[in-house]
Structure 1
Amino acid sequence: MVRQRALVLEDEYLVALDIETTLLGMGFDTVDIATSLAGAVLALEKGDYDCVLLDVNISGETSFDLARDLATRQIPFGFISGYSDTSGFPDDLKQSLVLGKPFDDGEFASFVANLLGDHEKAARLDMKEP
């Protein structure tokens, strides 16, 4: 299955736009942006996503409960965050994929490929220009 739709939860809109541009350049058909937890919940109610990229800290709240909901729904997710590791995460989320900010396009492409479990696609994603 080709991954075509992603949701990005990021409260810094310029960062979200950069992530959106990169994902579209990697071949995603649709990238939706939510700048709040409520917006992400609403987007998830309205659409199906192949993956969700979460900032940890959204306007003073964490996205941990949303991550748990995604895990229950079996929707692949990963954290893109200023946190470089999961040492401060709740125990049940310490095994989550995390991409620390700042990151380059190669790191991002590998992160998305690992998130989707698509290692063959990793090489192709890394080669495309956003």
Structure 2
Amino acid sequence: MAEFRVLVVEDEWLVAEEHRYVLEEAGFGIVGPVPSVKLAIKLIETEAISAAVLDIGLNGETSAPLVPHLQHRKIPFVFVSGYTPSDVPEMLRAYPFLAKPVVATALVSALNKMLGQDEQEFG
């Protein structure tokens, strides 16, 4: 599965490192992690990315501006956020969402599903 590269956009260092660990253990390659929209756009434009894991709230901004960039390149994504479903901005509610703290198996499963992969044993 290492051919799949996942962009991680997360402003909390410890959470970003946890996502990195979980995804690497599941066999994904990691792009980032990065803590801002600006840095994420740069990676989306310059790196080969198979899927993305996005925090919604990023140091006073939201990751909403990333959606059109990802959609233009046909990169599937999932939001992983501490927001409750009712706190998710309305324009983002139609997209896949996992609540923090996210269970490792749920994150891996969501990515496998987006990438059309059979479920992989994790852990």
Query: Shared fold by TM > 0.5?
Result: yes
- Equivalent position of 2:102 in the other structure: 103
Write the distance in 2 (CA, Å) between the matches of 1:104 and 1:30: 18
1:68 Cα deviation after fit: 2.4
- Runs of 5+ in structure 1 lacking a partner? none
Normalising by structure 2, we get a TM-score of 0.87
Deviation, 1:3, is 4.7
CA distance in structure 2 between the partners assigned to 1:35 and 1:88 by the alignment: 19
* TM-aligned CA deviation for residue 45 of structure 1: 2.0
Alignment correspondent of 1:29: 29
Q: Is the 8 A contact 2:8 2:30 kept in 1?
A: no
Give per-residue Cα distances to partners, 1:46-87, cap 9 Å, x unaligned. Answer: 201000111000001011111122112211111010124266
Structural mapping, 1:1-130, within 5 Å: 3-85=3-85, 88-91=88-91, 93-118=92-117, 120=118, 122=119, 124=120, 127-129=121-123
CA distance in 1, matches of 2:113, 2:122: 17
Amino acid at match of 2:115: L
Q: Deviations over 1:1-60 (max 9, x none)?
A: 875211100000110011001100001133421111111111112201000111000001
* 1:30–1:87 Cα change, 3 Å: closer
Query: Greater share of helix residues, 1 or 2?
Result: 1
Hey, what's the Cα distance between the residues in 2 that align with 1:116 and 1:67?
Answer: 17
Residue aligned with 2:85, SS:
coil
Report the AA paired with residue 103 of structure 2: D
Distance 1:36 1:26 in 2: 25
Count of aligned pairs between the two proteins? 123
Query: Percent identical across equivalent pairs?
Result: 33
State the superposition RMSD in angstroms: 2.0
Q: Could you say what secondary structure the match of 1:64 adopts? A: coil
Q: Distance in 1 between matches of 2:77 and 2:60?
A: 20
Describe the shift of the 1:2–1:25 C-alpha distance in structure 2 as closer, same or farther (beyond 3 A). Answer: closer
